Every structure is written in C-alpha cells, then in structure tokens.
C-alpha cells in the first residue's frame, strides 16, 4: 500500500477523496446498519481514512476498530472521533499478512480494495478473511465498471443533444491497463463488473449474499450536468458477503 500517498492526502482529504457515506443519494450504506442487527457486535472499518463512516458505525456496533495505512489520516480521524468510547484507531497495512488485527463480526471496506495491483488486492482480501469471525459479514463498496461506461455514454448523449460533433475515441492504452483498472482523477483505480465481483469474492473465500447499487447524483461525474440527466444514476457496487466454510 502507498502509505506516503495517503499521508499526503490527510490535509486535503475532504476536498479530494470522494465521500461515499455522504454522497449516497438513497442512504443505502447507512441504512444497512440501521436495522439493529449489529448492536452487540464488533466491526473493523478497513481503510477508514479520516473517518467518514466512524460515527455511523459507532452508533450501531458495540465496538469499532478503525484501521488505515496512513497515520496522518488516522490522526485526523482521532481528532474528530477520539471522544467516542467504543472506537479505537489502528495503523495497519491490510496487504501485510503479518498485520495484527482483531477478529470481528463485521468488516466494512468502502472503496479501499481498489488498488490497481491484483496481487495486493488478493493479499488484502486474505487478511480481511482471516480476521472475520465465522458467520460474520463483509460489507464491501467498490467502483462499478458498468457505471463507468454508462457515464461515458451519457456524455456522448449530452453532446448529441447539444448538436455537437461526436468522434468516438479509441485508445490502445485502455487494453494494456485492462481488468477494469481505470483512472479516477488521474489515479488508476480498480473497477468491478457485478459478475466479476461475485466470482472474485468466491475465489478469495467469500459468498456474496446481497449486491446493491449505491447511487450518486450526476454532479459526481460532471460539472453542471443538464436537468434532463436523471435516473438511472451512476453507482458503486455494495456487496454483502459471508465467509465460505
């Protein structure tokens, strides 16, 4: 994991890192935890950053382990939420098989297993699986590859509606990157197909039990989108999975 990169983002996190918890237009992610099923359980927030999800998790779990590779991001999170009695903060690299983490009933990973390196992602899922108790749940949010291409089409439609000339582009580099690794604000980021996500989780020891769209407004894709640009909206995938035996 690129610790230096994330340490450098600590001071500009709110401006530069997308806040899934706040921008989820339907409240799907928060709503999953508001059903009262986790009140006596423990949770690990993997890649918690500066703590976008900590307050929600602290309300619905007995104890929260907030984990991130960046000590500087954790310092910001601790300043914001350190007064909560049921939260502790841990600096750990989830791709390190020697990471010393507790066993928990639930693992939450919101856009953290999205590194372009397949090998690193495999290591991260192995560590997560190792520290999830039997019968536990993984709540995973990842960028959708389908949504990426749908948003690209909507830009074409926008141009056509405005009477602009559309010239389909073709970049060989996209094929070299492959495997759904595409740039977000210049940073190569893993995007997942729905079927790919189900299959990949099975490979790393999980069974998907629920997959839902976490939808966002079009202003997350384009500046000043036209009023006609409505549903279907762009989305990430939220997958709830359990460990296989």
Which segments of the chain are extended strands (E)? 42-46, 63-68, 87-91, 104-110, 132-143, 181-184, 187-190, 206-215, 235-243
Measured between alpha carbons, how far is 182 from 147 in angstroms, rounded to an integer?
12
Q: What is the pLDDT, as a whole number, of residue 100?
A: 87
Determine the Cα angle at 105 with ends 103 and 110, to 5°: 95
Q: 3-class secondary structure for 110-124?
A: ECCCCCCCHHHHHHH
CATH of domain 3-243: 3.40.50.150
pLDDT in tens, the chain (245 residues): 689 999 999 999 999 999 999 999 999 999 999 988 898 999 999 999 999 999 999 999 999 999 999 999 999 999 999 999 999 999 999 999 999 899 999 999 999 999 999 999 999 999 999 999 999 999 999 999 999 999 999 999 999 999 887 765 555 454 445 689 999 988 999 999 999 999 999 999 999 999 999 999 999 999 999 999 999 999 999 999 999 97
Q: What is the pLDDT of residue 178?
A: 62
Two tokens, residue 219: 């202003």
Q: What are the structural domain ranges in the chain? A: 3-243
């Amino acid at each position: 994991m690129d610790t230096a990169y994330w340490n450098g983002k600590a001071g500009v996190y709110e401006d530069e890192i997308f806040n899934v918890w706040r921008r989820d237009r339907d409240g799907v992610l928060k709503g999953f935890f508001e059903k009262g099923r986790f009140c006596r359980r423990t949770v690990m927030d993997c890649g918690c950053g500066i703590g976008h999800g900590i307050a929600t998790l602290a309300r619905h779990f007995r104890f929260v382990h907030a984990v991130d590779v960046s000590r500087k991001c954790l310092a910001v999170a601790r300043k914001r939420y350190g007064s909560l009695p049921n939260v502790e903060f841990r600096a750990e690299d989830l791709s390190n098989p020697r990471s010393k983490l507790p066993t928990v009933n639930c693992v939450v990973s919101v856009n953290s297993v999205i590194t372009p390196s397949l090998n690193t992602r495999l290591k991260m899922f192995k560590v997560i699986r190792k520290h999830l108790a039997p019968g536990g749940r993984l709540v995973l949010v990842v960028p959708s590859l389908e949504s990426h291409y749908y948003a690209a089409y909507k830009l074409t439609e926008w141009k056509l509606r405005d009477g602009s000339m559309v010239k389909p582009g073709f970049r060989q580099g996209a094929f070299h990157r492959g495997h759904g690794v595409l740039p977000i604000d210049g940073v190569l980021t893993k995007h997942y197909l729905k079927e790919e996500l189900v299959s990949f989780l099975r490979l790393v020891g999980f069974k998907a039990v629920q997959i839902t769209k976490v939808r966002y407004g079009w202003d997350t894709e384009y500046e000043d989108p036209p009023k006609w640009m409505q549903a279907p909206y762009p989305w990430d995938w939220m997958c709830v999975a359990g460990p296989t035996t």
